[in-house]
Homo-oligomer: A and B are copies of this chain.
Amino acid sequence: MAKTSQAAGLHRASLTKLHDLDAALELMYYGWRGMTLEADEYLAKQGLSRPHHRILYVVARRPDIAIGSLIEILGISKQALNRPLNLLLERKLLTSKRSPEQHRSKLLRLTAAGQRVEQRASDHERKVLREAFDRVGAPGAAAWMGVMEAIADAN
């Protein structure tokens, strides 16, 4: 047992805090990991990963989205989108069809199977959030959202 390999857990290392915000900084890191861990495990079991989930997530919330718009939202190149997208089409988690009038673009939509996978993966993430929110109550949750909005819009 050379490798410690609690692997997934990766206990929040207790490092000396050089600055008062170091704890918050590390919490952001471990928070992201904590939220996505179970979802990633579920996705891996389906032979999928984070990029696939991101596609499913967006298409679920923008049915009939065109590929170009998807590229914009995901912020990756069309070549980078290509492989995961084709996998999802092959697996019939997504369908694409030309729109009736706007024939130039293809419209993406989730199949029932795709909805199921998207929902289960996202559920894992939402479950973590829900439990955390439950622990601190509605005011705490609202405060969290306020801080995260400020951080997200920092740029």
Chain A interface residues (CB < 8 Å from chain B)? 3-4, 7-10, 12-13, 15-19, 21-25, 27-28, 30-35, 37-38, 57-58, 60-62, 72-73, 75, 77, 122, 125-126, 128-133, 135-136, 139-141, 143-155
Contact = CB atoms under 8 A, between A and B. Distances in A.
A122 B19 CA distance: 10
Contact of A151 (B9, B35, B149, B150): B35
Contacts of A61: 15-18, 22
B132 A150 contact: yes
A146 to B, nearest CB: 5
A25 B15 CA distance: 27
A114 to B, nearest CB: 13
